[in-house]
Structure 1
Amino acid sequence: MPSEMWVTQRQDHFNDANTKTWQQKYYVNDQYYRKGGPVFLMLGGEGPLGPTWMVDGAWIDYAQAYNAMLFSIEHRYYGKSHPTPDMSTENLQYLSSEQALADSAYFIQYCKYKFELQDNKWISFGGSYSGSLSAWLRLKYPHLIDGAVATSAPLLAVIDFKEYLDVTQASLATTGSGCNEGIEEATTAVEKLLQTEDGRGQLKKMFKLCDDIDIENKLDIANLFSNLANNFEEVVQYNKDNRGFEGGVGANITLDVLCDIMTDTSRGLALQRYADVNSLMLSTYSEKCLDFLYYNMIEEMRISDWNKTDSPGGRQWVYQTCTEFGFFQTSDLVEQPFGQRFPLSFWVQQCKDIYGYRFNADLINAGINRTNTNYGAKNIKASRIVFPNGSIDQWHALGKLDNLPAGSTAIFINGTAHCANMYPAAPTDIPELTQTRMTIQKLIGAWIQ
């Protein structure tokens, strides 16, 4: 595996009076490179950057085909790349997509001289948030990036991402009838049991809750319903994405597995089946019980010491959603089976409780409007970008599917989930996914001519 390397970055690229610097982690793999070949840059996203992607994934096939040099850089504030002594709200002011793009631009210039790559073509890669960064890097720094692969990239920032549950239920429906209906029936049953003390006790036992339910605490109730929905949301988002090569858990749980449980009447009523799904997810992630208390979640997210949090990237990413993107996966869509208990106000309250009094819906919307104005949202105007999206993936609702600027390409892959085309090929891949990887490779070949 490639070793960690470090580059000195400015804390604030947009204020020359700030002379503070920090060390950004990156990796390099030159085993496929031949002089004059292209340079591929994988942008880090909202989590720690590891070396696994430097030796595996679809882009490795592209590197072998075109004799490319490979770099990846860790996003500021994630993993080991710390621009500030801690993650206090004041210190998070240097965390933004604009600063991250400026980091990338400087890194390219740095590598051009350090590795003698002044005349090579550069192609950026990313998936999900870093897919957006890949597209925006091509938009903002076209003199440095010759083409961009922007996989599953949400380009439209929205405060109320109610389409997330719309795509979730549509994806669950692809398994056949009964899954969404079972979830809706179970949700109704949970609502009914909440109304009595005995019912709340029954819910605690069935769903392996860590604490008793306080019916007066609306935020706890919202968090409970959000957690139960999340059991399905996460599985749908990453359904059959071949991510097992990274060593993570849960890759074997698919939406088919969950819907098989929800439609198996031999297990009992829909409520019991909903609880069985919850038990499966707790077991998979080695959790003894479901901690649904809002205060516990907020206390975890308030931890600003780099070394004391159990949620790597959580505090940082939520800050970016509160200041730049929104993306709040609310229950505000009426026609969906998970109930209406985690509305927009629940998510706005989190911004306020985690980071301080100044956060409200107006402030969050101001940041979102600035983001969309800055990058163009779905009206992005830049050539030589490919936008692959999967039909199962909820994030395609905010992505680029049509009305493309000249020279850019959108690929909508029926039957795949989040970032599926980035992962290593597998014998079980559907033909549309295999074709997408081939199309991306051909596009890169045209861009580097």
Structure 2
Amino acid sequence: MKYSSTFSSSPCLLFIFLMIFFNSATATRFNIPRLSPIGGTILQELSGIVLQSHHSEHYKTFYYKQTLDHFNYRPESYSTFRQRYVINFKYWGGANASAPILAYLGAEAPLDGDIAGIGFLTDNAVRFNALLVYIEHRYYGKSIPFGSREEALKNASTLGYFNSAQAIADYAEILIHVKKQYHAEDSPVIVVGGSYGGMLASFFRLKYPHVALGALASSAPILYFDDITPHDGYFSIVTKDFREASETCYQTIRDSWSEIDKVASQLDGLSTLSKKFKTCNPLETTSELKNYLENIYASAAQYNRPPRYPVTVVCGGIDGEAFGSDILSKIFAGVFAYYGGNRSCYVNAPTNLSETTVGWSWQTCSEMVIPIGIENNTMFQADPFVLSEFINKCRAFYGVSPRPHWVTTYYGGHDIKLILQRFGSNIIFSNGLRDPYSSGGVLENISDSIVAVHTVNGSHCLDILPANKSSDPDWLVKQRKIEVEIIEGWIAKYYSDLKALN
């Protein structure tokens, strides 16, 4: 079926086409897993942490008059939009002491949830006497160009200013503005980011070393581009997580896909599956159910956090046989356990695509082409990533083709150890090896100051979430301690150099 790119001129029609593609069987993988630091799943938030931003007198919201296009001098490039950033002044030692600035670089979501959900800044603010700055990514939340979300998402012409290079240039402008505003030119800046934001933090340190002294890049899969990482890296780790949790659980999931196909091939098979899984609407294809289950397993693995450990929860449901001993009853018991209780229905619930889903779709269809596929060596049915087909789908959406080699061209990635040790410095790449995205992360030290800090049992962005003394395992406490001590070393060296210059 051929889709015309002319439909992309209407945001409403774009939403419809996204829903069609995301919920239908495709010849190649199209739903690249979200890179969210605080929770969520592929394509839509099935569960996760629902967080409200802090409403405190210590958090003040500002809007910066941001340049639309930092890299062009056409008249329209000089257009501006209001970009949101938030500052917490409570812990700052002040400009006279050149006290540090910890800056959180927002990713593919509104800033509100991250202010509460990213605990690394507030947990360490007293120790560093730091000013805390949180900056929202353009095109998300309240940082919308062109006056409205509808206009900003209208078509590829307005979306064309929506990319990582523009985003980190935004961050540079705002951080320089903040330092001038509070006479903090000598205050060192440490940028912090998680997931896609972690990639931005590392890119920012490489592109703007005069603005940021160092970067903490949590769960940043900067090597999952341009075939540097095997396509099946993500789902291989999902499989490994489940198999380590329970061999029988792993085997049941592995066997379930053919069982779904078997039931679906029978008379009224889709109706039988709809009843078995209590779908919100009758299933039209098996892919609706398979994609839903795949999303749950991937989310459970990516956010396999203490003290709940969702992978263990899902496998406990599957192995517990609460709804019967046949394969599909076991699978449904895993779904039931994942949600922690009964729901009125599961699968294909009516949803409105969020700005985050639409935004991430554009980003993956332009520059963030992460080639995630499934081969025969996992607990899933094979579903390879075929670049040519991915490009065709993106072109059908937006009328423009992805640039799958641009990230490695602009930021690097190939032969990273050989290259970065010569000119890069002061970056922490942190990972948890149970995070499927760690397959594209930096897991070995590149130099004395570009270091990899990983934990065997960690999950996605766990190190930058709020510390919990009652449930954080020792290995997580140690990981955070190492990161803080490294940053302290960077700042101490900076102060020594500053003193020598003065």
TM-score, structure 2 as length reference:
0.77
Q: 2:82, 2:343 → 1: CA distance?
A: 34
Post-superposition shift, 1:45? Answer: 0.5
- Kept in 1, the 8 Å contact 2:203–2:411? The answer is yes
Alpha-carbon spacing, 1:401–1:275, altered in 2? closer, same or farther (3 Å):
same
Alpha-carbon spacing, 1:168–1:186, altered in 2? closer, same or farther (3 Å):
same
Candidates 349, 352, 364, aligned match of 1:321 = 364
- Kept in 1, the 8 Å contact 2:261–2:286? The answer is no
Post-superposition shift, 1:178? Answer: 1.3
Opposite residue 421 of structure 1, the aligned amino acid is: D
- Kept in 1, the 8 Å contact 2:316–2:334? The answer is no
Opposite residue 254 of structure 1, the aligned amino acid is: P
Structure 1 residue runs without a partner (length 5+): 215-219, 243-251, 301-308
2:258 counterpart of 1:170: no
Q: 1:342, 1:200 → 2: CA distance?
A: 25
What is the DSSP-based 3-state SS (H/G/I as helix, E as strand, rest coil) of the residue aligned with 1:197? coil
Post-superposition shift, 1:224? Answer: 3.4
Q: 1:322, 1:185 → 2: CA distance?
A: 33
Alpha-carbon spacing, 1:100–1:37, altered in 2? closer, same or farther (3 Å):
same
2:74 counterpart of 1:7: no
Post-superposition shift, 1:227? Answer: 1.8
* Equivalent residue number for residue 25 of structure 1: 84
2:160 counterpart of 1:93: yes
Opposite residue 238 of structure 1, the aligned amino acid is: Y
Q: 1:253, 1:284 → 2: CA distance?
A: 16
Post-superposition shift, 1:260? Answer: 0.7
- Kept in 2, the 8 Å contact 1:222–1:341? The answer is no
Q: 2:365, 2:467 → 1: CA distance?
A: 36
Post-superposition shift, 1:193? Answer: 1.4
Q: 2:481, 2:397 → 1: CA distance?
A: 44
* Equivalent residue number for residue 433 of structure 2: 391
- Kept in 2, the 8 Å contact 1:124–1:145? The answer is yes
- Kept in 1, the 8 Å contact 2:121–2:132? The answer is no
- Kept in 2, the 8 Å contact 1:201–1:212? The answer is yes
Post-superposition shift, 1:167? Answer: 0.5
Candidates 377, 394, 405, aligned match of 1:351 = 394
* Equivalent residue number for residue 43 of structure 1: 105
Alpha-carbon spacing, 1:37–1:60, altered in 2? closer, same or farther (3 Å):
same
* Equivalent residue number for residue 409 of structure 2: 373
**Structure 2 matches for 1:230-309, cutoff 5 A?**
230-240=295-305, 252=308, 254-265=310-321, 267-280=324-337, 288-291=345-348
1:67-98 per-residue CA deviation (whole Å, 9 max, x = no partner) reads 01110100001111102333122211011010
**RMSD, matched Cα:** 2.5
Opposite residue 371 of structure 1, the aligned amino acid is: V
What is the DSSP-based 3-state SS (H/G/I as helix, E as strand, rest coil) of the residue aligned with 1:70? strand
Alpha-carbon spacing, 1:206–1:335, altered in 2? closer, same or farther (3 Å):
same
Opposite residue 4 of structure 1, the aligned amino acid is: T
Alpha-carbon spacing, 1:284–1:135, altered in 2? closer, same or farther (3 Å):
farther
- Kept in 2, the 8 Å contact 1:28–1:54? The answer is no
Q: 1:104, 1:73 → 2: CA distance?
A: 7
Q: 1:396, 1:261 → 2: CA distance?
A: 26
- Kept in 2, the 8 Å contact 1:186–1:274? The answer is yes
Q: 1:253, 1:65 → 2: CA distance?
A: 30
Q: 1:282, 1:175 → 2: CA distance?
A: 18
Candidates 463, 468, 474, aligned match of 1:431 = 474
Post-superposition shift, 1:209? Answer: 2.9
- Kept in 1, the 8 Å contact 2:64–2:85? The answer is yes
Identity of paired residues, percent? Answer: 28
Candidates 249, 252, 256, aligned match of 1:186 = 256
* Equivalent residue number for residue 61 of structure 1: 123
Post-superposition shift, 1:436? Answer: 0.8
Count of residues paired in the alignment: 413
Opposite residue 439 of structure 1, the aligned amino acid is: I
**Structure 2 matches for 1:124-139, cutoff 5 A?**
124-139=191-206
TM-score, structure 1 as length reference:
0.85
